[in-house]
Chain A
Amino acid sequence: MTTSHAAKTALGVLGPRNLELGPFTLGDTGQDAGAWQHWRMRTDEDGIVWLLFDRKDASTNTLSEETLAEMDAVLAKLEQDHPRGLVIRSAKRSGFIAGADIAQFRGVTETGPIEATLTRGHAVLDRLDRLPFPTVAVIHGYCLGGGLEVALACDRRIAIDDASFGFPEVLLGLHPGLDGTVRLTHRINPIQAMTMMLTGKTERARRAKSLGLVDAVTQERHVRNAVKAAVTGELKAAKPGWLVSLLNSSPARAILVPRMRRDASKKAPRKHYPAPHALIDLWMQHGGDADAMQKAEIPSFAKLLVTETAQNLVRVFFLRNTLKGLAGGRWNGGHIHVIGAGAMGGDIAAWCAWHGFTVSLADMKPEPLAGAIKRAAELYGKISHGDRRKVRDALDRLIPDLAGEGVASADLIIEAVPENLELKKKVYAGIEPKMKSGAILATNTSSIPLEQLRVGLARPERLVGVHFFNPVSRMQLVEIVSHDGVADDVLADARAFLGRIDRLPAPVKSAPGFLVNRALTPYLLEAMVMLDEGLKKETIDRAAEDFGMPMGPIELADQVGLDICLHVAEMRRGSLERPMPEPPQWLKDKVAKGELGRKTGKGLYDWKDGRAVKPSDAAVPPADTTDRLILPMLDVCVACLREGVVADEEIVDGAMIFATGFAPFRGGPLHYARARGMDDVRATLSRLATKYGPRFQPDPGWDNLK
């Protein structure tokens, strides 16, 4: 026996075998029972046909016109062959079917063609539903949208325990369109079904079983036997109970619907988000009659798809993919060292540990470290879905480091100490000699130019800005801040690192405030000016919320912290040519008094249990209020483009949506400007400048955006 160093672990070698494909083995190219692009079919020794969905040239299965048309041909053959049973499952590691191919929704302006496509799709799934022999979907990984509709058209559903199920269409301004609205409301409790479709929430395998969405939950090792049991009928189907029929009845719907409408309006006002309301209407009108509901689903879906909201949300989906693509490189780091266990540092460390990194979290004092561990444990409790092992492992990887020993073995160092140039430089001077040669030094600074921070570094090319937003676990965007001396591989690695912690990078240049905070500053300051003018704070917030912002500027200021707002405002006044309103004296007084907003329980609002105490009857804001708040934000975006702080409009729109929650249904600030009309926006800004002051003077960059 000769020996050589083994390159892989045991499970590294054997793991790929853990996918039960019946008569197929993973990656085999043997003869199939048909020549299709995306589907493969063979019969096993029990006479059960295994149909594998393996979309060509893709790592993920999605449904498109083409894949559905092929499926139709497959089903036609099966009708003739009449096998003992049929198994449908995905040959992709990643999951069953991720849903429809969203690219085909992009830019749709007419309802006619989409209705025709949907009608054909319905026919395919109906054909599957009617097959005169047992059909079984075996589902691992995600099973979303169209994928779930395929699964629902089978007689039995067997879930692997990692499976998750959902109808996320509503997040794109749509509802299910391949008969999902009917099949789901008639398969499980329609209240649960409507909730799933209205929220877009995914359900895990065990919960799906208790909902009656699947008939069994098992592991790969038992799939062969489970399939056999399903085909012989030994595995009983989870039957929709009497409650399902009762709740679908017209009187029940009449009782349930008003409440659904109220909840939907609260979360998603109809004028901005029509989809949930369309879905409720659909069920209200046709819930008792499956055939009618199926017919009505098609025009309802088509009508939604051509709305501005749906098209903008589809745009947001692709903006996300664009930003994700920027994070697509390879970076092999395993150890991250975070310096500073304050709110940001601690939360960044916790997030990285959750995503599999070994994280040393350094602080001179043990108390902030203890606080960071506590917040991490609380966060993990919320995001773990009860998986205590995952929580334990993440906490094991999050290492309090009082002596700062982690620097020496770290691949990435994230500095998150207070915003003080001298302090940061002192920290760098202490750690740079200890860093590994390939390590990256990242700063989470939100306001200090990197050109100043790099002074004195032996290797300034290893310094990059990685600017997270608060709360780290909820804000998907991170600004990757470059400076003229940074190495390209450092930038690429920093972006790839974000990919590994499921965050989206927005590359920006080192300029005061970068993009996001700079754009938010006039939004917040204008609100302060309005307060001085005597407008009520809830009225100001209402103006922004009606526009579609997730939170008005006053509430946001409290959320961010009034001290930070003041700091940014004062810094920005000094460093930019644009005239800015002076931060009002009462703001300074409030900060001096320690009324800083949410974190102290009192700021502009009183805060209770993490929520602002607001009267619900805000007055209708006067004209100009919304424009005064929103348009300067657009103007800063334009200025950033002109100055080259950001490379293109897509990154601007993506960054503003994923960092600030800028009304997603509007497709981003610049998309909104284009939709509204550039000339109109600029003219309005000029008018506001005449009326309220030069701070509204439109940026010359608008000329470049024709």
Chain B
Amino acid sequence: MQCGRPLLLRQPFAPDAFDQVILGCVNVIADEMNPARVAALRLGMGEAMTAFTVQINCGSGMQSIDTAYRTIREGVSDLILAGGAEALSHAPLVYSRSAVGWYGRLFGARTVGARLAAFASVRPSFFKPVIGLERGLTDPITDLNMGQTAELVSHLFHITRRQADEYAAESQQRLAAAQKNGHFKGEMEPAFARDGTLYDHDDGVRPDSTADSLAKLKPAFERPWGKVTPGNSSQITDGASWVILASEDAVQKHGLTPKAVIVDSEWSALDPSIMGLGPVYCSTALLKRHNLALGDIELWELNEAFAAQVLGCIAAWEDDEFCRDALGLDGAAGRIARDRLNVDGGAVGVGHPVGASGNRIVLHLVNAMKRLGHKRGIATECIGGGQGGAMLIEAI
């Protein structure tokens, strides 16, 4: 609701002009089965609006865009609202006593259905005792939780604790700078709670983070020697994101100004215990199909599930053996320059509302490319359960 209403309000067409609504959501709450349809109705899109919800864990928000894109390409629809939403604070979970207090505060500040309300965060250390949520973030095949898969990836590519902390600190600073410079204007909408509370920024941003200060945190998942800490992981938050996809006919009919074109998309899968490497597989497949080199991509949004996992992906592309034997390339793919990757920070600061993030990184990639004058970019994410999704985008 909170991000959909401003988006629809600024369109030159009425909310019921859409053909359908697709929403990615991982943890659908019992009160609102098929949240896509709930959102469509509550957004005033009319009783005749068909809507369905898609789920592919952390890729759900991108899956909605992909499904919309393919539906429009098929000529079946012209105008689709595609989003991602997550309200883990609303998930019916077994809470620890301290988390119950936190949950109560959150719940009181929101409408029953405002799972789209953003910006309430809790650190992994907080959800440690939260049994249900932890189960949801644990892979059932390997019985490793997501943090443990990041530990494994970092180990396999020799990512150090220091590197992860440095990456995380820089991510925080990038996000803070982007917020300060207004780079999220028109992209991040404040949320208004019915008790009058204004959520006008992500409260997970900690611009004062440094690699040194992050070094003091204890590992969250594998004590005492693990590398993945609350400070170098994404935060579990509530959040939502929508994008509008239109056919050329719809663009002309409504006089729209397109921002970007989806060139192609790809999904890949690998062993669930190293799910963090998903982006490497799907992005590489995209590049191969379009005869592109790693360096041809001017801007990357690679979802920051864990700092160590992002660094693991980068290291994978630099790894001669891995690129040759696992990806079928001639040798190392190359290096992604840090100034082309997650330029405005990412989930480490902004949070990772699992159903929403895939949608948000596509949207942010488009906006960042337009701002920086770049033409070609990839948004990609790792997906719990051992998958990855990627989208090749061209700015207009």
Q: Chain A residues in contact with chain B, CB under 8 A?
A: 9, 358, 360, 366-367, 369-371, 373-377, 388, 392-393, 395-397, 399-403, 405-406, 408-409
Contact = CB atoms under 8 A, between A and B. Distances in A.
Contact of A403 (B10, B43, B193, B197): B10
Contact of B190 (A366, A388, A392, A395): A366
Contacts of A409: 9, 14
Contact of A369 (B1, B5, B112, B192): B192
Contact of B195 (A369, A374, A402): A374
Contacts of B113: 392
Given A392-B112, A392-B113, A409-B14, A399 B194 contact: no
Main secondary structure of the interface of A (DSSP, over half): helix
Contact of A400 (B42, B111, B192, B197): B192
Contact of A392 (B6, B111, B186, B197): B111
Given A367-B198, A396-B42, A402 B9 contact: no
13 contacts: A9-B48, A366-B190, A366-B192, A366-B200, A375-B196, A376-B194, A377-B194, A388-B112, A392-B42, A395-B194, A396-B5, A402-B190, A406-B9
Contacts of A402: 6, 189-190
B198 A366 contact: yes
A399 B196 contact: no
Given A373-B196, A374-B194, A401 B14 contact: no
Contacts of A360: 9
Contact of A358 (B6, B44, B112, B186): B44
Contacts of B14: 409
B120 to A, nearest CB: 16
A367 B197 CA distance: 9
Top 10 closest pairs, chain A to chain B, by CB: A374-B196, A377-B194, A370-B198, A405-B10, A399-B5, A373-B192, A405-B9, A396-B42, A366-B190, A370-B196
B313 to A, nearest CB: 37
A193 B211 CA distance: 73
A358 B44 CA distance: 9
B216 to A, nearest CB: 35
Interface string B32-53: 0000000000111001100000
B75 interface: no
B9, B12, B47, B195: residue with the most chain A Cβ atoms closer than 10 Å = B9
Contacts of A370: 192-193, 196-198
Contacts of A400: 190, 192
A393 B38 CA distance: 12
Nearest to A375: B196
Contacts of B196: 370-371, 373-375, 377
Contacts of B192: 366, 369-370, 373, 400
A391 to B, nearest CB: 8
Nearest to A395: B194
A358 B193 CA distance: 18
B6, B44, B196: residue with the most chain A Cβ atoms closer than 10 Å = B196
A402 B186 CA distance: 10
Nearest to B189: A402
A6 to B, nearest CB: 9
Interface of B: 1, 5-6, 9-10, 12, 14, 42-44, 47-48, 111-113, 186, 189-190, 192-198, 200
A397 B10 contact: no
Contacts of B195: 374, 377
Contact of B111 (A369, A395, A405, A408): A395
Given A370-B196, A397-B44, A401-B6, 9 more contacts: A369-B192, A373-B192, A374-B195, A376-B194, A395-B111, A396-B5, A396-B44, A401-B9, A403-B10
A388 B193 CA distance: 16
Contacts of A367: 198
Contacts of A376: 194
A373 B194 contact: yes
B48 to A, nearest CB: 8
A93 B9 CA distance: 35
Contact of B6 (A374, A393, A403, A408): A403
A396 B47 CA distance: 15
A399 B42 contact: no
Contacts of A373: 192-194, 196
B12 A408 contact: yes
A57 to B, nearest CB: 35
A399 B190 contact: no
A358 B198 CA distance: 21
Contacts of B47: 9
A364 to B, nearest CB: 13
A393 B111 CA distance: 11
A525 to B, nearest CB: 36
A405 B194 contact: no
Contacts of B189: 402
B232 to A, nearest CB: 32
A396 B198 CA distance: 16
Contacts of B44: 358, 396-397
B112 A399 contact: no
Contacts of A396: 1, 5, 42-44
Contacts of A405: 6, 9-10
Contacts of B200: 366
A367 B1 CA distance: 19
Nearest to B111: A392
Nearest to A407: B9
A343 to B, nearest CB: 14
A397 B15 CA distance: 13
Contacts of A399: 5-6, 9
Contacts of B48: 9
A495 B47 CA distance: 30
A255 to B, nearest CB: 44
B12 to A, nearest CB: 7
Nearest to A6: B48
Nearest to B44: A358
A378 to B, nearest CB: 9
B1, B14, B192, B198: residue with the most chain A Cβ atoms closer than 10 Å = B192
A98 to B, nearest CB: 31
A72 B211 CA distance: 92
Contacts of B194: 373-374, 376-377, 395
B324 to A, nearest CB: 51
A360 B9 CA distance: 8
A363 to B, nearest CB: 11
A388, A399, A401: residue with the most chain B Cβ atoms closer than 10 Å = A399
Contacts of A397: 44
A155 B111 CA distance: 44
Contacts of B112: 388, 392
A408 B193 CA distance: 26
Contacts of B12: 408
A9, A366, A406: residue with the most chain B Cβ atoms closer than 10 Å = A366
B173 to A, nearest CB: 25
A593 B186 CA distance: 41
Nearest to B190: A366
Contacts of B5: 396, 399
Nearest to A401: B9
B83 to A, nearest CB: 16
A395 to B, nearest CB: 6
B81 to A, nearest CB: 16
A239 to B, nearest CB: 40
A362 B10 CA distance: 13
Contacts of B186: 403
